[in-house]
Structure 1
Amino acid sequence: MTTLTRDPKGYYATLGLRPGADLSAIKSAYRSRVKTVHPDRNASSRAREEFQRLMDAYAVLRDVVRRAEYDTTGQECMDDDEELAEPGSIPISCSCCGSLTAQPRYVVYHTVRSFLVWAKTGRLEGIFCRACADRTAVRASIITWLWGWWSLPGLLLAPLALLRNLFGGSKPKRENGRILIRQGRAFLARGEMEIARSLALQAARFARQPDDRARVEDLMHATRSVTDTRRLKGRWSLGGGVFLAQVLPLLALPLTAAVFALIATKPWDQPVSTSGNIAMRPVNVGEIRHVAIEGLKIRMAPIAGAPVLTLLDRFTTVEVTGDTDTPEWVRIRTPSGVDGYVETRSLYAGSGARFKSQWCAENRGGPPGTGEVLSRRVSGDHRLLVHNEGRRDGVVKLKTLTGHTVASFYVPATYHIGVGGIPEGTYRIEFATGAKYSRGCGVFLDEMQAMVLPVTLTFKYVAPGSARSMTSIAEISLSPAPGDPVQPLALSTERFATDD
């Protein structure tokens, strides 16, 4: 028996589809068509009639069982509560090859396609015979093996999809119970009582709803005269060549993951770490070195307990201006002109920018949340609205006129947030945009640009009895329109990351 491709009621034509379209295409076509034929948007005199016809078509085609009957018989669909042995009932056929099977199953196989930074899940579904189900499972797994691994989400979703396909895909109980009940009724109408009773026994394993259980009981009662207790041979158990074809690549997955981990970590080519102790190396006067630890203390004398002149941030570039009587200490000059002594092991030679970039990436931390306050030194009662209509995430800093950061917060791309807890005072607004924010360094690792607004914001105390209006809340935009008189000015990324 082959599946009919007729469309006597014009259901597929109403949706603008060819007969036999899958469920995803049906849903997509419905969402597109309903916008144009809805009476609220369509002024045609036939709008209500066209809308009702669209709803009738969608009601049949979105239902797995009713669509299968429509595709198989090309006639009006049977109702779930119609007579058990309706004359002329035709069993549901395989939606793939069109052959008649006594044990059809509605099966959903899962696919994953990766697009570098994101992954898209898909479904290959239908009412299958066992042979077509196996072929569809292999097809879904091949798609996932070829296209599912090329993004970080895909690395998580692809193994899950492969395992679900390996163990037979998803078999929704509600739909499969209804299919087996319909199939049993059709064989009962044809007088094939043994097959009808066996299908009723299979349907009992899927039926969970009270109405479905009642229909199974009716079918069991109608076939009570069958004395032969033999059942149909189960064709949906795991095993066979198809199972092995899917499980063997999965067994090799841990080895593949280990290879990728070795390639990613490159243990044979580890760069010098700037977060641990650094071996002492002789220094020469006039040599340029970089600070290897956070909060390096510049002392007045080459002694551990000598008074501290200032502190230096990690990766600060300094100049060696003299040596001492012991190789453990060296005299340096800071970028601000302060001369003092530090331990030689706290400085490293080489490319400061390369080591800093490496350290910032290794200490990136988790991605900040929307509106997350990254730092706050003082709190208050004022609020600020921030609009980031650009395509890159942003970090905003409120700095005093002397350059000290009062608060900093994270504003994702395309978001509009309100920030509270701002104390009274006058502040300069600095912000940076980019991707892959590093908590360890307070900078974006990719495409970072820093800006400063050419205006200041002043927040004043408001008496408790005074009325406050939302319209009086200060607002700033990280990407103002070209005609806006307040345009941000460029700022060096090093200056933005520095907190004086």
Structure 2
Amino acid sequence: MPYEHQTRREIEGNMSDNDPQGLYRALGIQPSANSDEIRTAYRKLAKDTHPDTSQDQNTEKFQKIAAAYEVLGNPLRRAAYDRSAYKAPTQETQTKVIDPICCSRCGQVTAQPRHIVFFRVYSFIFMTTRNPVQGIFCASCAKKEAARSSIITLIAGWWGVPWGPLYSVGSIIGNGFGGQHKRSADEAMIWYNALAFLSHGHMQLSYALAMQSKNALDKEIAKNADELTRLLERSGVDPKQGKLKNPWRTSVLSATTYCLMAFALPGALAAALFVDSQNGSRSTVYGGATTPYVSPPKTAPYQQNVQKAVTTPDVPTCANVPPNGQLLGPNRLSTADGHALEIRNGAGGNAIIKVRTEISGAVVATFFVRSNQTARISGIPDGRYKVQYAFGSALDVSCQRFVELNGADEFPRAETLNTEQTTTEIITQVLSYTLYAVPGGNIRPQSISAQDFERP
């Protein structure tokens, strides 16, 4: 049945912009913008309007920009905002015409929309991130975005140890099978469209959508949909044409393609490693040239920075090594609910971790992670933070710092931690990093000096 094509022609000039409170307009971006575009737009506008840094001071405009980023910069809040425009009560159709929902990508009216989150995975050896790409999609644009995000993940997501392969497989499979979406949100938008098409006089299409809404999880929607279908049947709508084709069904060919995409590369790498081990040699590539690879001594905990420190016998050292996860020195962690940081130390030596605020560089927490163990701290307040780490041969007599550092590094990207509060729960975030020594690797984290790491 050609309902959707017919509706596009008749209502093409009267579509919603998916921005009910103007948050996207405040940042000068489209509702289809990804998380990086949102972050970039906010930083530029904040710099141009902040009272402390801008010659053209505009406190009101800066507050509006900050409020917009507070919502759009958080994937959960952004998803709720994107759906907020489509909660029209049944009574609205009696008083005014309401517009059907449009795809945030192509701008076309879509009878059966979904709010979906796809993921793109990026890995940088020591760090793996999952970037959400979300919006209200028609089925056609959703399939394109699923393919695009999966291909990006296939190219850029595998190269982090150990979480790169795990996140990449999960994201590719998830994208291929429709991304992340909530049934309740899908049903709410279907019901909204049933009322919107009714207000435009598209009775048959409204009836078909109302038939779907009769099975909604929301009992109020199901009740109203049942009343609407009976009303439309009395008005002469043909019940035999009350079913729409499901555009969201995943075909066998598509499912097979995404499964191959997810597992082909790890399978090829496993086969290559097996063949390599059978040949009894390994190699690593630098700038296109292949050189022999020699395994380092097992006692070397971290080979990527400076030569291993030698502790002289006359320097007093820590008598009792702190337990894994022990906080070292003063900290600014909250005793109430806060965010968490988890460190997996896959290197051969003990590590000290520091969490610093991005702007001032003040230390929020310092803690100890033993070799080949995982430690977690919680109570980190809202803010933007950078994470630093260092390895050493032995702790000094205070048991809070290394006598001499073997190397110190900083994850190059600052992370934003925002607490979300709903009527029933408080939602906090968990950051997870892996420290994994890659001997002879040609991609490294951002090195910092011992002075930078030790500064208060």
The normalised TM-score by structure 2 is 0.53
The SS at the match of 1:120 is strand
Distance in 2 (alpha carbons) for counterparts of 1:417 and 1:59: 35
**Residues 476 and 143 (structure 1 numbering): CA distance in 2 closer, same or farther, change over 3 Å?**
closer
Q: CA deviation at 1:142?
A: 0.6
Distance in 2 (alpha carbons) for counterparts of 1:124 and 1:197: 32
| C-alpha contact 1:111 1:122 (8 A) present in aligned 2 | yes
| C-alpha contact 2:120 2:152 (8 A) present in aligned 1 | yes
Higher RCO (CA-CA < 8 Å; seq separation 6+): 2
The SS at the match of 2:122 is strand
Q: CA deviation at 1:408?
A: 3.4
Give the aligned partner of residue 214 of structure 1: 220
Identity %: 23
Deviations 1:306-330 (A, max 9, x none): xxxxxxxxxxxxxxxxxxxxxxxxx
| C-alpha contact 1:110 1:140 (8 A) present in aligned 2 | yes
Distance in 1 (alpha carbons) for counterparts of 2:80 and 2:319: 63
| Candidates 164, 169, 177, aligned match of 2:179 | 169
Give the aligned partner of residue 188 of structure 2: 178
**Residues 38 and 224 (structure 1 numbering): CA distance in 2 closer, same or farther, change over 3 Å?**
farther
Give the aligned partner of residue 128 of structure 2: 119
Aligned length: 315
Flag the structure with higher strand content.
1
| Candidates 314, 321, 328, aligned match of 1:408 | 321
Q: CA deviation at 1:185?
A: 1.1
| C-alpha contact 2:29 2:41 (8 A) present in aligned 1 | no
- Name the aligned partner's letter for residue 19 of structure 1: Q
Distance in 2 (alpha carbons) for counterparts of 1:408 and 1:115: 31
Larger mean CA deviation between 192-201 and 146-155 belongs to: 192-201
| C-alpha contact 1:177 1:204 (8 A) present in aligned 2 | no
- Rg larger in structure: 1
Give the aligned partner of residue 107 of structure 1: 116
User: In the TM superposition, what are the counterparts of 1:200-211 in structure 2 within 5 Å?
Assistant: 200-203=210-213, 207-208=216-217
The normalised TM-score by structure 1 is 0.49
- Name the aligned partner's letter for residue 125 of structure 1: Q
Could you tell me which runs of 5 or more consecutive residues in structure 1 were left unpaired when the two chains were aligned. 70-76, 272-353, 368-390, 419-433, 458-473, 481-500
Give the aligned partner of residue 169 of structure 2: 159
Q: CA deviation at 1:395?
A: 11
User: In the TM superposition, what are the counterparts of 1:73-152 in structure 2 within 5 Å?
Assistant: 77=85, 80-81=88-89, 83-85=91-93, 86-152=95-161
Give the aligned partner of residue 339 of structure 2: none
Distance in 1 (alpha carbons) for counterparts of 2:393 and 2:99: 71
Give the aligned partner of residue 312 of structure 1: none
- Name the aligned partner's letter for residue 216 of structure 1: A
- Name the aligned partner's letter for residue 168 of structure 2: A
The SS at the match of 2:132 is strand
Is 1:436 aligned to 2:322, yes or no?
A: no
| C-alpha contact 1:141 1:162 (8 A) present in aligned 2 | yes
Give the aligned partner of residue 258 of structure 2: 246
Q: CA deviation at 1:39?
A: 11
**Residues 194 and 84 (structure 1 numbering): CA distance in 2 closer, same or farther, change over 3 Å?**
farther
The SS at the match of 2:328 is strand
Q: CA deviation at 1:245?
A: 3.3
Give the aligned partner of residue 340 of structure 2: none
Give the aligned partner of residue 237 of structure 1: 249
Deviations 1:182-227 (A, max 9, x none): 111101212333322332343455x44xxx4313321321221336
Give the aligned partner of residue 372 of structure 1: none
| C-alpha contact 1:181 1:199 (8 A) present in aligned 2 | yes
| C-alpha contact 1:111 1:123 (8 A) present in aligned 2 | yes
- Name the aligned partner's letter for residue 148 of structure 2: R
Distance in 1 (alpha carbons) for counterparts of 2:52 and 2:222: 43
The SS at the match of 2:261 is helix
- Name the aligned partner's letter for residue 107 of structure 1: I
Distance in 2 (alpha carbons) for counterparts of 1:93 and 1:402: 70
User: In the TM superposition, what are the counterparts of 1:412-431 in structure 2 within 5 Å?
Assistant: 416-417=328-329
| C-alpha contact 2:100 2:197 (8 A) present in aligned 1 | yes
| C-alpha contact 1:65 1:179 (8 A) present in aligned 2 | no
Distance in 2 (alpha carbons) for counterparts of 1:186 and 1:256: 51
User: In the TM superposition, what are the counterparts of 1:19-418 in structure 2 within 5 Å?
Assistant: 19-22=30-33, 24=35, 25-26=37-38, 47=59, 51=63, 55=67, 64=79, 67=82, 77=85, 80-81=88-89, 83-85=91-93, 86-152=95-161, 153-203=163-213, 207-208=216-217, 212-225=218-231, 226=233, 228-229=239-240, 230-239=242-251, 241-250=253-262, 252-253=264-265, 255-262=267-274, 266-269=277-280, 357-360=296-299, 406-409=319-322, 416-417=328-329
| C-alpha contact 1:398 1:405 (8 A) present in aligned 2 | no
Give the aligned partner of residue 18 of structure 1: 29
Deviations 1:99-142 (A, max 9, x none): 22221222222211111221111122222222211111111111
| C-alpha contact 2:321 2:399 (8 A) present in aligned 1 | no
Q: CA deviation at 1:180?
A: 1.2
**Residues 215 and 36 (structure 1 numbering): CA distance in 2 closer, same or farther, change over 3 Å?**
farther
RMSD value, Cα: 5.2
Deviations 1:393-442 (A, max 9, x none): x999998x8999843347999x7359xxxxxxxxxxxxxxx992259xx9
| C-alpha contact 2:123 2:156 (8 A) present in aligned 1 | yes
